[in-house]
Amino acid sequence: MKTNTRIHLSAPDISGTEERYLVNALRSGWVAPVGPDLDAFETEIARRCGTAHAVGVSSGTAALHLALLAMGVGPGDAVVVPTLTFAATANAVVYTGAEPVFVDCEPDTGNVDVALVERAVADLRRDGRHVGAVIPVDLFGACADNARLEALDVPLLEDAAEALGASRDGRQAGSFGRAAALSFNGNKIITTSGGGMLVTGDAALAARCRYLATQARQPVAHYEHADIGYNYRLSNLLAAVGRAQLSRLDGMIARRRQLRERYAKAFAGAPGVRIVGEAEHGSNCWLTVIAVDERESGWAAARLGEHLAGHDIETRPVWKPMHQQPVYRAARSWLTGAADRLFATGLALPSGSQLTDTAQQRIFDAIDGFR
Ligand SMILES: *Cc1c(COP(=O)(O)O)cnc(C)c1O
């Protein structure tokens, strides 16, 4: 059955609340870059993440870039990045002049393999390399084993772009390491249409990022510059949208979790099919991903993807590992084959909190029709 309404992987979930906050911000006159909604959004995100400081920026990528700069990462450094991530994690390293190196993942969750990170750090140091940072990614909304990574003696920057509202070991995503980056891009768990935030417990690091994000302007009238800065601040209007979204975060997570449980039930009887990271109870359930062992299931994940595409339902392979990307072909990597297997066998299913019961039913009818 074809209908006119395409079902997307993770579309924005916008209500009258966002409209009200945005109109109020416009009417308040605070249209110029900063303002009270940005201040309030920073305070509210910091409270949610359990960090003392937050700096609103134009994207998650900008948050990663600024955090690395403020941590002193630069040319000559190696930075350990999971191979199974979105390119922005690695690209931010390249922006600083440092070199990303890639580490494989746990087969069950897709999150970075901590023992392999330890090995990579030891190997790099033995070769005389300075390890500027490790950037664990909280993949698909489930925290990596960040507490164990904190115990390694290397600066940690948490890429929590997908994980706002998630927790692990009783700690919120964003609260691990020296700093963390959040994203409010259009397909993330909450969105400002585009935006991000740097969260940290380190006041000096937050101040440095705020300064670099506003063109590194010295506090004098004549625009004195002692550093190269960036135009990376989040606008007050978008922060107002973010506040509305944040006020609805718990409900949106509950809706995504409910949908994940429905997928789990739908595939429970299917041999060779599992939900990636199903045991991660602190996940915000940003994306539900299945991994399909074709030898047991008799069908490949990609074939289900094609079937659903025929019903105007979007799915996506998992991130293509960085070590397989043409642009990072020359990078050094520590691999087990786990990320390659997830890339070959994984499929991300529609996971948006805005999906109505009717839209959800269309997905499950289509899945029923596949088997
Ligand atoms: C989305 C994402 C980013 C980048 O965030 P933007 O706001 O799009 O710049 C970085 N890392 C990961 C893991 C992401 O999923």
DSSP per position, 298-329: SS-HHHHHHHHHTTTB--BPPPPPGGGSGGGT
User: Which atom belonging to ligand 1 lies closest to the Cα atom of 194?
Assistant: 7
Rounded to the nearest angstrom, the distance between the alpha carbon of 226 and the centre of ligand 1 is: 30
Give me the CATH number covering residue 91: 3.40.640.10
As for ligand 1, residues whose beta carbon falls within 6 Å of it are 59-61, 85-86, 88-89, 137, 159, 161-162, 183, 185, 196
The amino acid occupying position 74 is G
Last residue of a domain, one of 230, 247, 264: 247
Per-residue pLDDT tens digits for 135-168: 999 999 999 999 999 999 999 999 999 999 999 9
User: Which atom belonging to ligand 1 lies closest to the Cα atom of 88?
Assistant: 10
Q: Is residue 8 part of a domain?
A: no
User: Which atom belonging to ligand 1 lies closest to the Cα atom of 61?
Assistant: 9
Q: What percent of the chain has pLDDT over 90?
A: 93
Do 131 and 218 fall into the same domain?
Answer: yes
Q: Among 185, 187, 286, 351, say which to mutate for ligand 1: greatest number of ligand atoms within 8 Å of CB.
A: 185
Rounded to the nearest angstrom, the distance between the alpha carbon of 161 and the centre of ligand 1 is: 5
Per-residue pLDDT tens digits for 262-283: 999 999 999 999 999 988 889 9
Do 119 and 32 fall into the same domain?
Answer: yes
Per-residue pLDDT tens digits for 201-227: 999 999 999 999 999 998 888 888 899
Active site residue 320: no
User: Which atom belonging to ligand 1 lies closest to the Cα atom of 64?
Assistant: 10
Per-residue pLDDT tens digits for 291-346: 999 999 999 999 999 999 999 999 999 999 999 999 999 999 999 999 999 999 99
Stated pTM of the model: 0.97
Instruction: List all residues 6 or more positions away from 269 whose beta carbon is below 8 Å from its beta carbon.
Output: none
Q: Is residue 214 part of a domain?
A: yes
Sheet hosting strand 157-159, strand order edge to edge = 53-57, 196-200, 179-183, 157-159
Do 66 and 211 fall into the same domain?
Answer: yes
The whole domain housing 335 covers 249-370
Residue 2 pLDDT > 60: no
* pLDDT reported for residue 155: 97
Q: Is residue 11 part of a domain?
A: no
Mean pLDDT of the region 66-72: 98
Q: Among 95, 140, 162, say which to mutate for ligand 1: greatest number of ligand atoms within 8 Å of CB.
A: 162
Strand, helix or coil for residue 271: coil
* pLDDT reported for residue 4: 59
**Residue with CA nearest ligand 1 atom 2:** 161
Do 273 and 243 fall into the same domain?
Answer: no
Rounded to the nearest angstrom, the distance between the alpha carbon of 60 and the centre of ligand 1 is: 5
Residue 174 pLDDT > 90: yes
Pairing of β 179-183 and β 157-159:
parallel
* 1 pLDDT tier (thresholds 50, 70, 90): very low
Rounded to the nearest angstrom, the distance between the alpha carbon of 93 and the centre of ligand 1 is: 13
* pLDDT, mean over the chain: 96
Q: Taking the mean position of all CA atoms in its chain, how far away is CA 318?
A: 13
Rounded to the nearest angstrom, the distance between the alpha carbon of 195 and the centre of ligand 1 is: 10
Q: Is residue 6 part of a domain?
A: no
Pairing of β 288-292 and β 273-275:
antiparallel
Strand ranges inside 156-277, DSSP E: 157-159, 167-168, 171-172, 179-183, 196-200, 273-275
Give me the CATH number covering residue 337: 3.90.1150.10
Last residue of a domain, one of 247, 274, 289: 247
Partners of 101 in beta bridges: 80
* 247 pLDDT tier (thresholds 50, 70, 90): very high
